[in-house]
Structure formats: C-alpha cells, structure tokens
Structure 1
C-alpha cells in the first residue's frame, strides 16, 4: 500500500480528454486517495466515475458543483478501509478513516468560493469541520484564498481576508 494522495484542481471533468488525463494519472501514480476539485459537474454519472477510477477504488463521495463552479470528487482504494464517518457540507467533504489498529484520522477536501462574503462563510464551515474532527485532520483542496502578498500576481490584495485565514 502506498501513502500517495492526488490533490488536483481539474478545472472541469466534463470533457472526454480531461477524463482520460485524470484516469492516466490515477493509474500511473497508484495513489491510495484521489481528491479532484472544481469538477464543474452538477452530477457525475456513475459510469463516468467508474471509467475515471481503476478497479481498486471501491469508495467515493461527490459534492456537486453550483452552476459551472466548484464540485468535488473524493475516491479511495478498498485496501485503505471504508469510511467510519463522513460529512458533506456546502464546500467540503470530510471523511474519517480508521485503518485497523492505526490511529483514526480525518480528510477534508475543499473548494473555496470566489466572493468575499462567501469566503467568510467558507472559513466558518472549515472551523466547524475542524471542531468536529477530534482525531488528526488533513485539509486540502483549492481554497481560492491567499496567505501572503507574494501569492497574488494581479489586482488588489485583501489583507483583511488574508488575516481571516490564519
């Protein structure tokens, strides 16, 4: 079993070419967990999910996009273990893994919104998720936030929003 995890903003899964690229990466990396962000699909057909994932991926969860923005797909191999708890919120999917005699842990996959008002709600959602996760917690995804001015390459910097992330 590898400890590899794929975390990728795919910028849409609605094209056959993108699906083929994702499948090739999943196959070649042999990751245990795959987190795909910004699927841009309000619903991912089961056939599409099965064609993306190799046969060792028995488990998956999805968060539909809102219009042409967002969407998350998280999948994991059956060798890892079934989820012992799950939570789907507005902008995140959280999964608790309890692998045998090992320490239980949480994975949260997120896709942050664009607008400042929505970002404040998103950060509150993350705080709420963190409060519910008593074991170690890994949060990853596309936050659509910056933590330093060096991360911004155009336009004004919202220092108040940067401060909310810390």
Structure 2
C-alpha cells in the first residue's frame, strides 16, 4: 500500500464551514496522514482534530510559537 500524505496550509480552521469542507475532502481523498499548518487557530482542541478526521482513534501533535502554529 502506498501511503497518502497531505500537507495543507489551511488558513481558517476556526471557521466551522471550512471544517466541514475539510472533513469532506479528507474522506474523499482517503489520505493516511495529514499535516495542517494553521497560523490563526486560537486553541488546539483534540476534539476538533478528531472531528476533521472522522474518527476518535486519531492522535495529533502541535508546535506553537509566537506567530505560527503547525498541527501534525
């Protein structure tokens, strides 16, 4: 199996409508690993990440700095 990896500069993960679109796209693309880059996300919430992935058995890590945030 060839893994499908997606790297995405989301630009607006706080927007609920964008979250719905992302979830739909992740399902249709059937990716195995997703790396989001988001600079405006207020809080990293594991429930948000799990809802985007569509599964409760998902993990995430993040790296925060003064002006950027990356979610892996």
Query: TM-score, normalised to structure 2's length?
Result: 0.78
Query: 1:21–1:13: structure 2 CA closer, same or farther, 3 Å change rule?
Result: same
Q: Which residue is 1:38 aligned to?
A: 38
Secondary structure in 2 matching 1:55: coil
Equivalent residues of 2:46, 2:60 under 8 A apart: no
Structure 1's consecutive aligned runs of 4 or more residues displaced over 6 angstroms after TM superposition are none
1:25: how far off? 1.4
What aligned pairs does 1:51-90 form with structure 2 within 5 A after superposition?
51-55=51-55, 58-64=58-64, 66=66, 69-74=67-72
Q: Distance in 2 between matches of 1:43 and 1:63?
A: 12
Unpaired runs of at least 5, structure 1: 75-166
Q: Which residue is 1:122 aligned to?
A: none
Q: What is the number of residues matched between the two proteins?
A: 72
Q: Which residue is 2:16 aligned to?
A: 16
Give me the CA root mean square deviation. Answer: 2.1
- Which structure is richer in relative contact order (CA contacts within 8 A, separation 6 or more)? 2
Unpaired runs of at least 5, structure 2: none
Q: Please say which structure displays the higher CA radius of gyration.
A: 1
Equivalent residues of 1:39, 1:73 under 8 A apart: no
Query: TM-score, normalised to structure 1's length?
Result: 0.38
